[in-house]
């Protein structure tokens, strides 16, 4: 499946491949340590957010998932 932004499709494929490899080769075998695909995901997420803005897709009421979800800036 292509990404919301044409420019993001290759990043999506790279992330999907990384995640699927990690899931099959590590996670399903009990190794849930590390985040080998985190940087790819961040790059893809930024690309998608940019595409959403450029296409003027309304996202009011939707929250992007991420480490700060549900946390205030001052919480630790």
Domain boundaries, the chain: 6-55
Instruction: Give the per-residue pLDDT at 73.
Output: 45
The pLDDT score that the predictor gives to residue 64 is 59
Angle at 64 between CA 76 and CA 4, to 5 degrees: 150
Higher pLDDT, 71 or 22: 22
Give which of 71, 68, 50 is closest to 59, Cα–Cα. 50
Please, what sign has the CA dihedral across residues 57, 48, 12, 37? Answer: negative
Residue with more model confidence, 71 or 11: 11
- Band of residue 7 on the pLDDT scale cut at 50, 70, 90: confident
For residues 3-20, average pLDDT: 91
């Amino acid at each position: 499946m292509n990404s919301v932004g044409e420019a993001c499709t290759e990043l999506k494929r790279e992330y999907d491949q990384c995640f699927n490899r990690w899931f099959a080769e590590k996670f399903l075998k009990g190794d849930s340590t590390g985040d080998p695909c985190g940087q790819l995901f961040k790059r893809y997420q930024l690309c998608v957010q940019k595409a959403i803005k450029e296409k003027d897709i309304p996202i009011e009421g939707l929250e992007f998932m991420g480490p700060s979800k549900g946390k205030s800036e001052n919480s630790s």
